[in-house]
Amino acid sequence: MNKVLFKYLLINYFKTIFKVILIFYSFGLILNLFEEIEFFKNINISLLMPLSLTALYIPNMIIKLLPFIVFISSMWFMLNLRNSKDLLTLKVFGYSNFKIFFVLAFTSFLFGWFILFAINPITSIMVKYYEQTKSEYSRDIDHLVSINKNGLWIKENLDNGYRIISADKTKNKILKNVNIFSLDKDYSLKETINSSFANIDTNEWVLNKVTITSYKDGLNSKKTVENYKITSEYDYKKITNLFKNFDTMSFIDLILSYEELNNRGYNKDYLDQSLNTMLSLPFFLFIMTALASILTMNTLKKSNNFTFIVAGLIVCVGIYYFKDLSLALGQTNRISLSIAAWIPVVVIGLFSSIGILQINEK
């Protein structure tokens, strides 16, 4: 009988999660589709393009909202369980409030790991394709920045031509082994600048140990200076902001390629934040299930579901802004970004532990 009840809990719980995911996906599809249509409104393409891009983008958004999806699913499932008297039946066969909570919460915990290792790699590929496709249609691609296995690459449009900048890596506002190629409007090479390192804290870059080679009428001249300044469209903050979006990297990529990504110039703080945010997901799902249990399992009596809907919405909004506050503290260097990813989990977990002890007594 216990196996039958256990199977009943799991199957119906996952059915509820699937229903809520479908609801969120439908709303996301509708809302994001308008944004994609607005983006492509002046481009001659079919409706299939914005629709397909939206379908690729929404799964990643679903993963970001997964703690709230699991919270709503848990509340919905437990309310149905209680209002149908199934909760009383479970108790008759030895399922206490704590045991029911633990089965559902531990299921959510394992579900979180499944998402990280099985689903997240797929959604990261989908987001990467989404970003690449949109960049091809973007009207603002005069200035391009890329970080790949060969280092940092920047292309800038100047009034009298173009500038291409390459560097081995970016670290602490310093570019190392910098090569700058100045081209005229016909893409003919005018000048090359080689520098051991450059400070890019501001838009006025300061280059050190510089060799400048000028090309004119088939001849070239070379000079060496200790310091040299150029004005760029980019500074360290702007370059870093371009690579804050780690949605194109899966949890597995971050674990296996952490050092490589760091050496290629990705900001270590944001790498840590992304890695710890993903790592905290299973624990977050566990405590969100605990919160749902606290709100719904205080009594066996039937109740007005509207009250729980309002309470659930308030809890979701509160936790969402609490996560934002924690992240803001990290971004303003009050705390590390890694700790900022875990603070909501720890605080809500401590609160939930008290509530779980109380519902177990009822």
Per-residue pLDDT at 352 exceeds 50: yes
Tell me which residue range forms the domain holding 156.
144-233
For residues 213-241, give the mean pLDDT.
Answer: 81
Per the domain annotation, does 240 fall within a domain? no
C-alpha distance from residue 280 to each of 42, 116, 319 (Å): 42, 10, 15
Per the domain annotation, does 206 fall within a domain? yes
Query: pLDDT at position 174, please?
Result: 84
Residues 286 and 345 in one domain: yes
Query: pLDDT at position 60, please?
Result: 92
CA 134 – CA 48 distance, rounded (Å): 14
What is the number of alpha carbons within 13 Å of residue 89 lying toward its C-beta? 13
For residues 218-227, give the mean pLDDT.
Answer: 83
Residues 262 and 356 in one domain: yes
Per the domain annotation, does 67 fall within a domain? yes
Q: Mutual orientation of helices 66-83 and 97-114 as an angle, nearest 10°?
A: 150
Per the domain annotation, does 268 fall within a domain? yes
Residues 260 and 338 in one domain: yes
SS3 245: coil
CA 90 – CA 75 distance, rounded (Å): 17
Both structure tokens of 211 = 């060799």
Residue pair 54/32 in contact by the 8 Å Cβ criterion: yes
Residues 12 and 122 in one domain: yes
pLDDT band at 140 (very low <50, low <70, confident <90, very high): very low
Phi, psi for 15 (deg, rounded to 5): -60, -40
DSSP 300-333: SS---HHHHHHHHHHHHHHHHHHHHHHHHHHHTT
Residues 195 and 317 in one domain: no
Both structure tokens of 149 = 């296995």
Domain boundary among 202, 233, 264: 233
Per-residue pLDDT at 223 exceeds 80: yes
Residues 134 and 12 in one domain: yes
Of the listed ranges 214-223, 226-235, 303-312, the one predicted with least confidence: 303-312
Per the domain annotation, does 128 fall within a domain? yes
Question: pTM of the predicted model, to two decimals?
Answer: 0.76
Residues 134 and 148 in one domain: no
Residues 149 and 270 in one domain: no
Per the domain annotation, does 108 fall within a domain? yes
For residues 186-199, give the mean pLDDT.
Answer: 87
Residues 117 and 154 in one domain: no
Q: What is the mean pLDDT of the chain?
A: 83
Greatest mean pLDDT range, 232-236, 292-296, 340-344: 340-344
Domain boundary among 176, 205, 233: 233
CA 12 – CA 297 distance, rounded (Å): 17
SS3 98: helix
Residues 206 and 84 in one domain: no
Greatest mean pLDDT range, 169-173, 258-262, 303-307: 258-262
Cα dihedral 267/273/278/282 (nearest 10): 160
Q: Looking at the 3D structure of the chain, how many domains does it have?
A: 2
Residues 64 and 128 in one domain: yes
Of the listed ranges 19-33, 77-91, 155-169, the one predicted with least confidence: 77-91
Residues 191 and 271 in one domain: no
Per the domain annotation, does 82 fall within a domain? yes
Query: pLDDT at position 294, please?
Result: 85
Tell me how far the alpha carbon of residue 102 is from its chain's centroid: 28
Domain boundary among 206, 233, 260: 233
Per the domain annotation, does 239 fall within a domain? no
